[in-house]
Amino acid sequence: MGDISLQVIVTGLVQGVGFRPFVFRMATLFRLTGWVQNTNENVRIQLTGKAGDIAKFLVSLKEQAPPAAMIDRISTTEMEMIPFTSFTIQGSHDVSDAITEISPDIAVCQDCLHDMEQPGSRLDYAFVNCTNCGPRFTIIQDLPYDRAKTTMKSFAMCPSCRQEYENVSDRRFHAQPTACSICGPRYELYAGAERIRENIVEIVGHVAQLIDRGGVVLIKGLGGMHLACDAFNETAVTKLRELKFREGKPFAVMFRDLESLKVYAHVNALEEQALLSWRRPIVLLAKKGNSPQPPLAGGLNSGLNLLGVMLPYMPIHYQLFRQLRNPAMVLTSGNFSSEPILTDNRDALDQFAARVDAVVLHNRDIYNRTDDSVVRISAGKERVFRRSRGYVPAPVRTGMNLEGIVAFGAELTNCFCVGKGQKAFLSQHMGDLQGLETTLFYEKTISQFIQLFRIRPSLLAVDLHPEYVSTRMGLSFGDLPVVKVQHHHAHIASCMAEHHLDERVIGVALDGTGYGTDGHIWGGEIMLCDLNDFTRITHFEYIPLPGGDTAVEEPWRIAVSWLYKVYGKDLFQLNLPLFNRVDPEKIGLVIQMIDKNINCPLTSGAGRLFDCVASLLDLVQVSSFQAEGPMRLESLVQDHCHANYPFRLGETIEFAETIQGIVDDLALGTGKDIIATKFHNTVILAIFESVKSIRIKEGINKVVLSGGVFQNKYLLEGTMSLLQKNNFEVYSHAAIPTNDGGIALGQLAVASKRREMSCV
């Protein structure tokens, strides 16, 4: 049998992840000749060899690809036989205006960790990396991905790094950030504003000692600064909270390894996979209840049964854990709460040097700021809640023409999104667009994305809310057409775009707050919609929100509002814990506000109903972090309880009987865990019954779930399984946040659809 020739085109995330050297190794292994080449759109391979060997090559291409590579498609075309003498890697080639994808940052690989233990210029070298690992997005300033266009440009490669970089069979062939202790970045330790150490071994030893003794240290990471302290030291954790002005929001914890983590949290196979993935996100896990020894500091996660944990992903994390006494440290973003994570060395010293026990900086600049990402495994899938380091800027592939669209997102948990061809580039987590610093970060990142992905903006998409910073930013962006998208329509459209749906569906959007077309605050919405438009079919009944935003921070106000609606002035006869917690005068005032309709916007927000129940159960009267009430309520859920409370499907979805049922149960002394579970079951059933009646009328069988309330695992799993048991096709978010971080993708999809239909 003679040789044959084949052309192979590989698309997806195949650049900056060691793909060409991998192709070279596989081709050589199977005695194939030809070449491999990067274009700005894809990787092209020309092969000549035995048919059987080529077949084996193609299988390996799929099965053994480097971990961070994401192959979208492999297409092959048979060619006339072309004889080659060898297999070569050819230079990059520009074929069009299209751009290649940029790899997210990749956790340090085992080979590089091994290199750190070998004598030579990488012994203990904390910036070791190779084509399979290391910084990517956070250091990239422009395309094509080349050292000169990264923040590594100020470090000239030493001869030995250069040799590896140019050697096609080396693991560091074309590894743009490659470096060693002779030529690369280094750490510096500051005490006060004074630089006291530069030797990495001494720095690590010193920092470990400080942490062991209860100190707090600021450490520069991949996408920003972290604050670190011993996760077992209550005093240190309290100190860290005060330092950040962060009252109750749970802290993330980094464990030394999976083994020590399993002492403190339940880990199933999918959770283990997420923890160990090269993306190294924070994974939300259920805490173990058997009080393991030594106990983690109680102040870590405010008594919730969820723990946000991650495993080491930078070389210095591994180095620290070798010295630390305990197997876990708090590793939380280095910033004052409500500000974005710090990236600049000067700012870090100015703001934190006098407040912490030490500051560890390095001289590799962070160009693209990223936070640690957060995921949770629900209904057998990884659900991304905060999409940042390790995930961004991988695009979302759609079947739509998104070219030139810029979508500005919502307000809290903001992300924006830009369209290039059929790809949507969703930004990293921005934070809450209320502080000035976050707004500046938002503005700057929008222009960075536009430049990086060569976007020529031609259409803008914003939320319907006139007061959102993002809306105002969009409206003042330039003289371009603007599409305004209702918040919950955008939620559903986001989930539709993630699943390539372009048809009429039943949308269930449950969240806290979104501006409605009637001027009220929506958030418990069941709609019929497609990508172009929506019809609101039913919703959680409206309830006055006494004090507006203040009521979101003080759930007792919402409970009073509900009780007043259900019991009128008789509410004072009820024996509820909230009456012992809150000044009766204040309660009276809230009732007056409702009576006179003073600062009492109407809301159908599902999050508010959860807040109300959390207050009735005395889980929280005044929140110390966002969604505290719903999280505490979910924490109590018991899988074995299948009962529910009554509710009514009228004009709207009415919960007066639910509230009565809860109040009665409290009077009977029913356990809070049972009440919380019955309440969850009620919401699940109410969604199901509403959706079922829509199916009967409209004959639509696809249900799309979105909104921040679906971060609740019990609610998501319960809703999905009940709907699926009844033969609904159910779609929920996985790669894209179900919270407002996913909104911009929905705005982008709606804008694209309206443009296609010539509505803009």
Given a contact cutoff of 8 angstroms between Cβ atoms, the answer to whether 408 and 461 are in contact is yes
Binding marks (x or -) toward Fe ion, 498..527, rule CB under 5 A?
A: -------------x----------------
CB hemisphere CA count around 357 (13 angstroms): 20
Is 740 a binding residue for Fe ion by CB under 5 A? The answer is yes
Of the residues 6, 180, 314, 691, which one makes contact with Zn ion according to CB under 5 A: 180
Token reading at 318: 């591994």
Token reading at 710: 């679906």
Phi, psi of 338 (to 5 degrees): 85, -10
Token reading at 463: 């939320």
3-state helix, strand, coil in the chain (%, to 5): 35, 20, 40
Beta-carbon contacts of residue 242 (< 8 Å; ≥ 6 apart): none
Beta-carbon contacts of residue 78 (< 8 Å; ≥ 6 apart): 4, 5, 6
Of the residues 32, 45, 133, 446, which one makes contact with Zn ion according to CB under 5 A: 133
Interface region with Zn ion, contact rule CB under 5 A, candidates 177-185, 344-352, 452-460, 613-621: 177-185
Q: How many residues bind Fe ion (CB under 5 A)?
A: 2
CB of 739 to Fe ion, least distance (A): 7
Given a contact cutoff of 8 angstroms between Cβ atoms, the answer to whether 61 and 23 are in contact is yes
Single-letter residue type at 72: D
Of the residues 116, 168, 182, 656, which one makes contact with Zn ion according to CB under 5 A: 182
Q: Nearer Cβ to Zn ion, position 133 or 704?
A: 133
**Among 686, 609, 690, residue whose Cα is nearest residue 646:** 686
Of the residues 112, 501, 653, 751, which one makes contact with Zn ion according to CB under 5 A: 112
Q: Nearer Cβ to Fe ion, position 371 or 511?
A: 511
Beta-carbon contacts of residue 690 (< 8 Å; ≥ 6 apart): 526, 537, 538, 649, 653
Q: For residues 39 and 141, what is the distance between their CA atoms, to the nearest angstrom?
A: 19
Interface region with Zn ion, contact rule CB under 5 A, candidates 7-15, 54-62, 125-133, 560-568: 125-133
Listed as own residue / partner, the contacts of 432-437 with beta carbons closer than 8 Å and 24 or more positions apart are 432/338, 433/468, 433/469, 433/470, 434/338, 434/469, 435/338, 435/339, 437/339, 437/340
Task: Report the partner that residue 183 touches, choosing among Fe ion, Zn ion, none (CB closer than 5 to 8 A by kind).
Answer: Zn ion
Q: Nearer Cβ to Fe ion, position 511 or 665?
A: 511
CB of 115 to Zn ion, least distance (A): 8
Task: Report the partner that residue 511 touches, choosing among Fe ion, Zn ion, none (CB closer than 5 to 8 A by kind).
Answer: Fe ion
CB of 665 to Fe ion, least distance (A): 30
Given a contact cutoff of 8 angstroms between Cβ atoms, the answer to whether 457 and 478 are in contact is yes
Q: Nearer Cβ to Fe ion, position 341 or 709?
A: 709
CB of 216 to Zn ion, least distance (A): 30
Q: For residues 50 and 337, what is the distance between their CA atoms, to the nearest angstrom?
A: 61
Task: Report the partner that residue 740 touches, choosing among Zn ion, Fe ion, none (CB closer than 5 to 8 A by kind).
Answer: Fe ion
Site for Zn ion in 140-159 (CB under 5 A): 158
**H/E/C letters for each residue in 155-201?**
CCCCHHHHHHHHCCCCCCCCCCCCCCCCCCCCEEEEECCEEEECCHH
Q: Nearer Cβ to Fe ion, position 186 or 387?
A: 387
**Among 175, 228, 180, residue whose Cα is nearest residue 200:** 180
Longest alpha-carbon distance in the chain: 94
Single-letter residue type at 490: A
CB of 148 to Zn ion, least distance (A): 17
- Strands annotated E in 172-288: 187-191, 194-197, 217-220, 225-230, 252-255, 282-286
Is 252 a binding residue for Zn ion by CB under 5 A? The answer is no
Task: Report the partner that residue 286 touches, choosing among Fe ion, Zn ion, none (CB closer than 5 to 8 A by kind).
Answer: none
CB of 711 to Fe ion, least distance (A): 11
Of the residues 61, 130, 375, 687, which one makes contact with Zn ion according to CB under 5 A: 130
Binding marks (x or -) toward Fe ion, 232..271, rule CB under 5 A?
A: ----------------------------------------
Beta-carbon contacts of residue 215 (< 8 Å; ≥ 6 apart): 229, 236, 356, 357, 358
Task: Report the partner that residue 158 touches, choosing among Fe ion, Zn ion, none (CB closer than 5 to 8 A by kind).
Answer: Zn ion
Q: Nearer Cβ to Fe ion, position 681 or 712?
A: 712
Residue 194 β-bridge partners: 191
Task: Report the partner that residue 180 touches, choosing among Fe ion, Zn ion, none (CB closer than 5 to 8 A by kind).
Answer: Zn ion
Task: Report the partner that residue 112 touches, choosing among Zn ion, Fe ion, none (CB closer than 5 to 8 A by kind).
Answer: Zn ion
Residue 653 β-bridge partners: 540, 649
Q: Nearer Cβ to Fe ion, position 33 or 626?
A: 626
Residue 360 β-bridge partners: 189, 219
Task: Report the partner that residue 130 touches, choosing among Zn ion, Fe ion, none (CB closer than 5 to 8 A by kind).
Answer: Zn ion
Task: Report the partner that residue 578 touches, choosing among Zn ion, Fe ion, none (CB closer than 5 to 8 A by kind).
Answer: none
Q: Nearer Cβ to Zn ion, position 158 or 674?
A: 158
Q: Nearer Cβ to Fe ion, position 47 or 749?
A: 749
Task: Report the partner that residue 74 touches, choosing among Fe ion, Zn ion, none (CB closer than 5 to 8 A by kind).
Answer: none
Is 432 a binding residue for Fe ion by CB under 5 A? The answer is no
Q: Nearer Cβ to Zn ion, position 389 or 487?
A: 389
Interface region with Zn ion, contact rule CB under 5 A, candidates 70-78, 104-112, 189-197, 736-744: 104-112
Footprint of Zn ion on this chain (CB under 5 A)?
109, 112, 130, 132-133, 158, 161, 180, 182-183
Footprint of Fe ion on this chain (CB under 5 A)?
511, 740
